[in-house]
Amino acid sequence: MFDESSATNLVPRHHTLDGFVEAVSQADGVGLTDVDTLTTLVVRTDNSVYQITILQGHTREVLVKGGVFFPEHTRACLSGSSRGRGGLKMGWIGIGLHIEFHFAEQWMITSHVREIAIDPSTTARPC
């Protein structure tokens, strides 16, 4: 007979869907649709700094520059944030999580996000 109490010891909670949902709900972050088009986010990870300009938040289309993979501005799809293995919050950048990009038939996953800031020179200003 299956003992439900022992099942929780088989897979650590942080590797489960419930664990992912819990972690994402407690993390600070930025949704791509929550900022204006052409806003640039400056995202610092453990290993790099990225400039991410939102082209179309609802389609997750961005220009990204930074790190080893993006030495120049590159058009990409910012899929979302994950723990690095399964579970993805679409169109969102979360502190403590990894960003997943898709570009030129490749996938790239960043190291952990440590800080997100909006580049003030790219925010909308009244005419």
Q: How far, CA to CA in Å, does 12 sit from each of 15, 20, 25, 83?
A: 6, 11, 18, 14
Residue 116 confidence (pLDDT) above 70: yes
Give 120 or 50, the one with higher predicted confidence: 50
**pTM assigned to the model:** 0.80
Task: Give 25-80 pLDDT, tens digit per residue.
Answer: 667 899 999 999 999 999 999 999 999 999 999 999 999 999 999 999 999 999 99
User: Three-state SS across the chain?
Assistant: CCCHHHHCCCCCHHHCHHHHHHHHHHCCEEEHHHCCCCCEEEEEECCCEEEEEEEEHHHCEEEEEECCCEEEEEEEEEEEEECCCCCEEECEEECCCEEEEEECCEEEECCCEEEEEECHHHCCCCC
